[in-house]
Structure 1
Amino acid sequence: MEKYEKLEKVGEGTYGKVYKAVEKSTGKLVALKKTRLEIDEEGIPPTALREISLLQMLSTSLYIVRLLCVEHVLKPPAKSNLYLVFEYLDTDLKKFVDSFRKSANPRPLGDPLIQKLMFQLCKGVAHCHSHGVLHRDLKPQNLLLLKDKELLKIADLGLGRTFTVPLKAYTHEIVTLWYRAPEVLLGSTHYSTAVDMWSVGCIFAEMVRRQALFPGDSEYQQLLHIFKLLGTPTEVQVEINRPACSPFFLDRSV
């Protein structure tokens, strides 16, 4: 990692830390995503391996953040770090939308800008789905932006999974609560691309409204927010859509 000089920490989560850094030989800005590995663990964490493999497969799209390289740094006697080196983008959609809402003169994003960002988001999601990948954690914080070019890229594929037909059973503990599809909130383990499209719809509404559409603080409250706006599904709707191969009971055309 002597090739890079860390400039500042720009994010932190359960996975580790993200730093803004510069590549010394070229002066190019990069983002370093650091994951700490313990020597007694059985290799690299599955989430990191999954993210690396999915990024390598999807990086051909302009609308997916580009993974430049992976660095494994040993720190004897008992520590080692895994660094994912990404292209650097200067903000995320959450901060970008908040800048319009919290500025001295609050203003809407404007229809042309929303249309442009939504087009890029849909292109990125379509690229994932066409390669058989569910993102499963689409939210404004995971959509990175190059502000001067108004270029949006999907990031953080740590919860991403490949999908097949027929659908396999997946965990329902996915996606940040505000952007989680109702079938996932109700514990369905068989779901497909619609869970990402639900998140896309919530993100679209948030750009227009400059605030979250369904800001629940629990799974129960989240469902109440959804049912209040879209209506409570009837028993007939639930029964019609009960088979495992088709767990979606809300009309996505609303």
Structure 2
Amino acid sequence: MEHLAPEGYTVVRRLGSGTHGCVTLCECLATRKLVAVKSLPLRDPDGALSTEVLREASVHKELRHPNVVCLLSYTAERDRMFLILEAMDSDLAIHCRGVREGRGFDPMGTKILMYQLLRGVGYLHEKGIVHRDLTPRNVLLKYSAHRMQLKLADYGLSRSVALPCRVLTPQVVTLWYRAPEVLLGSTTYSEKVDIWSVGCIFAEMATGRPIFPGTSEIEQLQLIFRELGTPPNLNATFGLGRAAPEFPRFQAQRRFPAQNLNAPGVDLLWRLLCLAPKDRVSCGEALRHPYFAGLSPCQRNGWR
């Protein structure tokens, strides 16, 4: 497995691929401990240094939080950047598939994971970072006998949003988790794009299925508007700098299957999935929502 691990590590198995690179489970020859190694190309196809790879390494090394995957070290070899990360057990995509097949977590397990997800994303936002690629596959899990830890991974598309009105690229986030303002081409969006993604992930955690499974940007917007209603003025709602395309005038339905989520949970879901970015709750507001009432300090840290 050439170029998948730096010197001093041996590959155990391939785990998957991130935004820009391959991730493998490796054994450190010095400590005999298992780690995850992300291998990234240091150069773009045109030979220039990859700004995306350098950004991911620079962002990740500044992050220290219980709900963020820990970067243990990093090194460059053979035109590759290797990020040495703590090893995790699974991801939310596998969990959601289990829910779909009738073997997922119970409602309390979903609540415990959701609390940790919001806390991790809130930490990024406090640091002035928008993740921009929150999907179930980028939310990792670690299990022990009585604990479920959730940690965020993959910062290849992250950006600083500390400067207001900074022009950003709209080509971000896997389609199903992409906020409507991004789908419409906004380049001045905020950290609220992550809040939308969290709402989509929350719905999928509860049902095992994506809430808006579009196959194109137009279909994705139509699915969103069918459920939440078409805003009367798209430009005003989403702060677009150009004329928006025309869409059918759908009335809001909000037909989320309540058997998979209690009433406070459904209320939180719609607060995360507000169409207008300014109306979406922040992570801090979401963490104070009644849905999480009664969670003990131990449960908030993943203990069952």
| Fold shared per TM-score above 0.5 | yes
Could you tell me how far 1:13 is from its partner in structure 2? 5.1
The equivalent residue for 2:39 is 34
- Choose from 205, 219, 222 the match for 1:221: 219
- Choose from 205, 208, 213 the match for 1:207: 205
3-state secondary structure, aligned to 1:166: coil
The equivalent residue for 2:74 is 70
* Aligned: 1:151 with 2:149: yes
- Select between 118-127 and 29-38 the one with higher mean Cα deviation: 29-38
* Aligned: 1:123 with 2:152: no
The equivalent residue for 1:77 is none
The equivalent residue for 2:82 is 83
Contact kept, 8 Å, 1:97 with 1:207, in 2: the verdict is yes
Structure 1: any 5+ residue segments left out of the alignment? 75-79
Q: TM-score, normalised by structure 2?
A: 0.73
- Separation in 2, partners of 1:69, 1:252: 36
3-state secondary structure, aligned to 1:138: coil
Pair 1:26–1:35, CA change in 2 (3 A): same
- Separation in 1, partners of 2:239, 2:80: 45
- Choose from 236, 241, 258 the match for 1:239: 236
Higher strand share: 1
Contact kept, 8 Å, 1:92 with 1:143, in 2: the verdict is yes
2:27 maps to a residue whose letter is: V
The equivalent residue for 2:98 is 99
Could you tell me how far 1:15 is from its partner in structure 2? 1.8
Pair 1:21–1:242, CA change in 2 (3 A): closer
- Choose from 168, 171, 183 the match for 1:170: 168
Give me the identity figure in percent: 41
1:5 maps to a residue whose letter is: T
CA RMSD of aligned residues (A): 2.1
Deviations, residues 211-233 of structure 1 (Å, cap 9, x unaligned)? 10000000001001100110111
Could you tell me how far 1:252 is from its partner in structure 2? 3.7
- Separation in 1, partners of 2:19, 2:131: 18
Q: Superposition pairs for residues 183-194 of structure 1, below 5 Å? A: 183-194=181-192
Could you tell me how far 1:38 is from its partner in structure 2? 5.3
Contact kept, 8 Å, 2:99 with 2:207, in 1: the verdict is no
Contact kept, 8 Å, 2:130 with 2:158, in 1: the verdict is yes
Could you tell me how far 1:3 is from its partner in structure 2? 1.4
Q: TM-score, normalised by structure 1?
A: 0.87
Aligned positions, number: 239
1:83 maps to a residue whose letter is: F
2:236 maps to a residue whose letter is: E
- Separation in 1, partners of 2:238, 2:213: 26
Could you tell me how far 1:41 is from its partner in structure 2? 2.0
Contact kept, 8 Å, 1:17 with 1:33, in 2: the verdict is yes
- Separation in 2, partners of 1:9, 1:108: 25
Contact kept, 8 Å, 1:97 with 1:109, in 2: the verdict is no
Give every structure 1 segment of 4 or more consecutive aligned residues whose post-TM-superposition deviation is greater than 6 Å. Answer: none
Contact kept, 8 Å, 1:185 with 1:223, in 2: the verdict is yes
Pair 1:3–1:172, CA change in 2 (3 A): same
